[in-house]
Structure 1
Amino acid sequence: MGALPRTDREGDGAALRVAVVAPPWLELPPDAYGGVESMCSDLVDALVDRGVAVTLLAPGRHGTAAAFRPTGPTADPRLMGQALPEVVHAAQLPELLMDLCVDVVHDNTLAGPLVAGSHGLPTVVTAHGPVQGDLGSYYRTLSRRASLVALSDAQRAHLPSARWAATVPNGVRPERFPFRATKDGYALFLGRMSPDKGPVWAIDAARAAGLPLVLAAKCREDAEKAYFEDNVEPLLGGAVEWIGEVGGQQKHDLLAGARCLLFPIDWEEPFGMVMIEAMACGTPVVALRRGAVPEVVDHGRTGWVCDRPAELPAALLRAAEIDPRACRAAVEDRFSAAALAAGYERVYRQVAASGGPPAAARPAS
């Protein structure tokens, strides 16, 4: 149901038709915070550039170069993390996909892959979050009937028992980010307000280095607000400025002007989009060695990777040693949307040809 005959899709030069499913929380492209949504937006535009026929399934308005099927009239970010919107979003997919002639579905949601059996189309699933604990059990089971893609080798290493189809790092469109070789004096913390993102460590490091710090973070959910009020707000003042959530041109200007992006995470981050967004602006990254950080940041070339929070102040003071042009070049070479699309197109073609998870992805028995 829905898929064109495989014989019409053979060969690298053949047309390829893909349905990309985005999460239900935000319109694409997102106005502010939205790592998964940013990736989906850049991916579909870059796939269209490559001649892939893409249909995007997402809520709200039509904002990309792909064909569009809305999963709802609006997106409500206030519902982010709630189960029901995710389930309702997933339940619509078989009907929406029924009359689409596509070879592969690329699902970027948590619940959506559960209905893959209903629409009968080969499905690629990107694991956008952690793959430990209950989520690890979920993705391990899912990988037996869908082609599971990791964002980094670090993420993949946390679930070696899954049948991973590929590792495809995230990417951005560098031309959409302003490059600045001359930086201002502030360090920048940009992300969400959560202890695993390390905002308190960021404040401590900037103060120890004697540098101004700009804190810009998503702080919408109750847990984020409570953490901010209890742990971060009492530390504000002096050279530490809180500006809340940012997006669009304001976000780009902050990234481009910063002496560095401070990324002191305290969890196994599977990728970290903001790192490559900063690098696209020519801004180095000062980060802790967790998750995918060593795969993204080239120590001494595009930033400094620290083993302990106590090392962050010295690294902040050395940010000016990093050549902004090297940061930009790393994104153009390794983390561009073009590279992202090329990586996923390879996966799509493998899956379309085989009708399921590639045999090479299956663990040896």
Structure 2
Amino acid sequence: MRTLRICLIASSRFPISEPFAGGLEAHTHALAGQLRARGHEVSVFAAPGSDPALGVVELPVESFAPPPGERHDTGITPESWLNEHHAYLGLMLDLASTGSQRFDVIHNNSLHHLPIAMSTAIDVPMFTTLHTPPVPWLTSAVAYAAPTSTFVAVSEFTAREWSGQVACRTIRNGIDVDTWQPGPGGGPAVWSGRLVTEKAPHLAIDAARRAGMRLTLAGPSLDREYFDREIRPRLGAGIEYAGHLTHHELRATLGAASVAVVTPVWDEPYGLVAAEALACGTPVAAFARGALPEFVDESVGSLARADSVEDLARAMVAAASRDRGHVRRVAEERCSIARMVDQYELLYTGGHHRLAA
């Protein structure tokens, strides 16, 4: 395959560096690293503080302060929105001016509307990965997308969710299974991810207590009110919060776990934390929501009725008995980033007719 000059547009909200704020940042870092390892020239436009080893060009997310005396309106656009808007606007205007001289491909891996809405102004093929269900700021932008724009969903579930808005292909997310290595298991159950309401780690705690299992929580606490209300009072007596771990620390924690618990109370577009656990040989107990049933089944874990603590406790006990060697082998087949990048390379070079869903 010929070397491509790839512009990878990332999130401006969180740095693309460890410890990652969430799955989108981890996905972008892995994708950029794999493309560079295959010899492509990759420029990652991302938030300040992102990993310089990825060839990062920092988006100028500067703090906007209204001039003194400017009218203060209770309905004024939030300053954080303006900061991101101006950063992406500057990038898209720059790409409209010189992008065709610098890049062969633009891969929009952000959640911002401007790369989609301004794609008609840019004479470079644009590929947008849809990491969320349809949301107003993206669905409204789709109406202005260039006719040649290509949209990719991270799961079949997400593709179905977007089917009423835009036609998209499916390239399931992947992780580096050479980095996420199997561990011995046998330790406490683990819940990993952002400790926020929609991820519902408090339900994992309740299920662990019902199942009589110890549980370690790992991840950034981004909602102080939620943590103080739902998590802090539940800690102790076998329930531990380990904090926001590096990927090295998280791999060790997952590899030592008897089961990983995934508890979304919304429909996950993919569920990267489940794939990471499977690659560590750790079976997964999860609510059957969103895309999780596409790669978590009874051979590698157990699915529970959505939002049911009682059924999740049952699933945790059942999943812990799965064969860890088999779990790892299935992860290599279903969750490999090599498979994901193979498919993106086909897409970039016009071989999309050969893409498997």
Q: TM-score, normalised by structure 1?
A: 0.82
Classify the secondary structure of the residue corresponding to 1:164: coil
Q: Is the 8 A contact 1:189 1:215 kept in 2?
A: yes
Classify the secondary structure of the residue corresponding to 1:338: helix
Amino acid paired to 1:205? A
Alpha-carbon offset, residue 261 of structure 1: 1.0
Alpha-carbon offset, residue 162 of structure 1: 2.6
Match of 2:281 in 1: 282
Q: Is the 8 A contact 1:90 1:115 kept in 2?
A: no
Alpha-carbon offset, residue 270 of structure 1: 0.2
Classify the secondary structure of the residue corresponding to 2:216: strand
Match of 1:243 in 2: 242
Q: Is the 8 A contact 1:54 1:67 kept in 2?
A: yes
1:292-303 matches, within 5 Å, as: 292-297=291-296, 299-303=297-301
Quick one: structure 1 residues 89 and 326, their matched pair in 2 at CA, closer, same or farther if it must change by over 3 Å? farther
Classify the secondary structure of the residue corresponding to 1:350: coil
User: Matches of 2:142 and 2:161 in 1, distance apart?
Assistant: 11
Residue segments in structure 2 that go unaligned for 5+ positions in a row: 64-78
Which of 190, 193, 203 is residue 191 of structure 1 equivalent to?
A: 193
Report Cα offsets for 1:231-274 as digits up to 9, x if no partner. 22222221111233222322121111111110021111100111
Amino acid paired to 1:214? T
Match of 1:106 in 2: 107
1:127-206 matches, within 5 Å, as: 127-131=130-134, 134-135=136-137, 137-138=139-140, 140-141=142-143, 145=147, 146-180=149-183, 182-206=184-208
Quick one: structure 1 residues 62 and 203, their matched pair in 2 at CA, closer, same or farther if it must change by over 3 Å? closer
Quick one: structure 1 residues 270 and 74, their matched pair in 2 at CA, closer, same or farther if it must change by over 3 Å? same
Quick one: structure 1 residues 193 and 142, their matched pair in 2 at CA, closer, same or farther if it must change by over 3 Å? farther
Q: Is the 8 A contact 2:190 2:257 kept in 1?
A: yes
Would you say 1:252 and 2:254 are equivalent positions?
no
User: Matches of 1:296 and 1:142 in 2, distance apart?
Assistant: 34
Q: Is the 8 A contact 2:117 2:145 kept in 1?
A: no
User: Matches of 1:256 and 1:318 in 2, distance apart?
Assistant: 18
Match of 1:33 in 2: 21
User: Matches of 1:139 and 1:314 in 2, distance apart?
Assistant: 43
Alpha-carbon offset, residue 321 of structure 1: 2.1
Match of 1:345 in 2: 345
For the aligned residue pairs, the C-alpha RMSD in angstroms reads 2.7
Q: Is the 8 A contact 1:188 1:255 kept in 2?
A: yes
Classify the secondary structure of the residue corresponding to 2:326: helix
Number of equivalences: 331
Match of 1:307 in 2: 305
Report Cα offsets for 1:288-345 as digits up to 9, x if no partner. 1100010121x22211111242211122112332122222222322222211111111
Alpha-carbon offset, residue 168 of structure 1: 0.9
Residue segments in structure 1 that go unaligned for 5+ positions in a row: 1-12, 76-80, 361-365
Quick one: structure 1 residues 162 and 73, their matched pair in 2 at CA, closer, same or farther if it must change by over 3 Å? closer
More divergent stretch after superposition (47-56 vs 145-154): 47-56
Amino acid paired to 1:235? R
Quick one: structure 1 residues 101 and 154, their matched pair in 2 at CA, closer, same or farther if it must change by over 3 Å? same
Alpha-carbon offset, residue 72 of structure 1: 3.9
User: Matches of 1:270 and 1:62 in 2, distance apart?
Assistant: 24
Classify the secondary structure of the residue corresponding to 1:155: helix
Classify the secondary structure of the residue corresponding to 1:244: coil
User: Matches of 2:17 and 2:341 in 1, distance apart?
Assistant: 16
1:5-44 matches, within 5 Å, as: 13-44=1-32
User: Matches of 1:185 and 1:73 in 2, distance apart?
Assistant: 42
- Percent identity, aligned pairs only, is 27
Q: Is the 8 A contact 1:174 1:332 kept in 2?
A: yes
Amino acid paired to 2:12? P
Amino acid paired to 2:315? A
User: Matches of 2:252 and 2:299 in 1, distance apart?
Assistant: 22
Match of 1:5 in 2: none
More divergent stretch after superposition (144-153 vs 165-174): 144-153
Amino acid paired to 2:165? A
Larger RCO (alpha carbons 8 Å, 6+ apart)? 1
Alpha-carbon offset, residue 71 of structure 1: 2.3
Classify the secondary structure of the residue corresponding to 2:209: helix
Q: Is the 8 A contact 1:33 1:246 kept in 2?
A: no
Alpha-carbon offset, residue 96 of structure 1: 4.7
User: Matches of 1:74 and 1:249 in 2, distance apart?
Assistant: 32
Match of 1:120 in 2: 123
Alpha-carbon offset, residue 61 of structure 1: 5.5
Report Cα offsets for 1:121-179 as digits up to 9, x if no partner. 221111112225x2563365356643211111111212222333311111111121232
User: Matches of 1:334 and 1:34 in 2, distance apart?
Assistant: 21
Classify the secondary structure of the residue corresponding to 2:349: helix
Report Cα offsets for 1:79-131 as digits up to 9, x if no partner. xx942332132122235532552222111121333332333322111111222
More divergent stretch after superposition (233-242 vs 47-56): 47-56
Match of 1:363 in 2: none
Classify the secondary structure of the residue corresponding to 2:18: coil
